[in-house]
Structure 1
Amino acid sequence: MRIIITYGTFDLIHIGHLNLLERLANMGDKLVVGVSTDDFNLSKGKQCLYSFEERARIVGALQCVDIVIPESSWEQKEQDIQTYHADIFGMGDDWVGKFDHLAPACKIVYLPRTPTISTTELKRSLAKIDPVAIQKIKKGLDGVLDIVKALE
């Protein structure tokens, strides 16, 4: 049995995440995914929109994912490779070279990212949305909802 392991935050999960996970899953028989905990993300200076529990549940619901584990530190990867008997450690190519030190434990692969999507870009776009405009849209939708209820 060939086991693949990978890690990520998976906040605002998108098609790029799915593409990476599916490609990794196709390299073996079982895919183990480490999802970064909230505390670990805070130590990296990351603030997530969704909790660890929610992100882990979403990732675990994907058909290509077999096991979800919490990622609570950079250092745990070598132990996880041993614990899960991983044959391949895979990450997106934005991490090239960062995990080469794990090569004695298993094969390291860096896969190309989906060029049309990025969580960072999604967050930047969301940050540009005007809160006043959002409230106007919400009021408009509330008005439509009131009309629909009145017609029932």
Structure 2
Amino acid sequence: MDKRSVRVWMDGSFDLLHCGHANAIRQAREFGDELIVGLQPSADIVVHKGPPVFTESERHRLLAAVKWVNQVVDRAPYGTSESILDQHGCDFCVHGGEW
């Protein structure tokens, strides 16, 4: 019998992707078999943090290139809900120290 993959959700703005982001992503990936990263839209980032430096498309491409990321979900809401986890088949969510 095949074991089901454990899917982990992590979301954030990931503007100016840096080694702290990469380390958090690496650690998140260690909790499961697949890491799904939700990318928050620029409009939400403006409200909560200030204007982003990179566009959503640039941030998506940067995240997609990270070897521990299996999938990038665009326009993820600012704040994770059980419905988002269910929608993407994720078993649980991880967050960095900011929250």
| Structures share fold, TM-score greater than 0.5 | yes
3-state DSSP of counterpart to 1:92: coil
1:82 aligns with 2:86: yes
Number of positions where the alignment pairs a residue of Structure 1 with one of Structure 2: 95
TM-score when normalising by structure 2: 0.85
Q: Distance in 1 between matches of 2:84 and 2:42?
A: 19
Q: Distance in 2 between matches of 1:40 and 1:32?
A: 19
1:7-86 equivalences in 2 (<5 Å): 7-74=11-78, 77-86=81-90
- Greater RCO structure (CA 8 Å; 6+ sep): 2
Which structure has greater helix proportion?
1
Two-structure CA RMSD over aligned residues (Å): 1.6
Consecutive unaligned residues in structure 1, runs of 5 or more: 96-152
For residues 6 and 75 of structure 1, the distance between their equivalents in structure 2, rounded to whole angstroms, comes to: 10
Contact residue 39 and residue 72 of structure 2 kept, 8 A? yes
**How much has 1:26 moved relative to structure 2?**
1.3
Distance 1:18 1:65, change over 3 A: same
Q: TM-score, normalised by structure 1?
A: 0.57
Q: Highest CA radius of gyration, 1 or 2?
A: 1
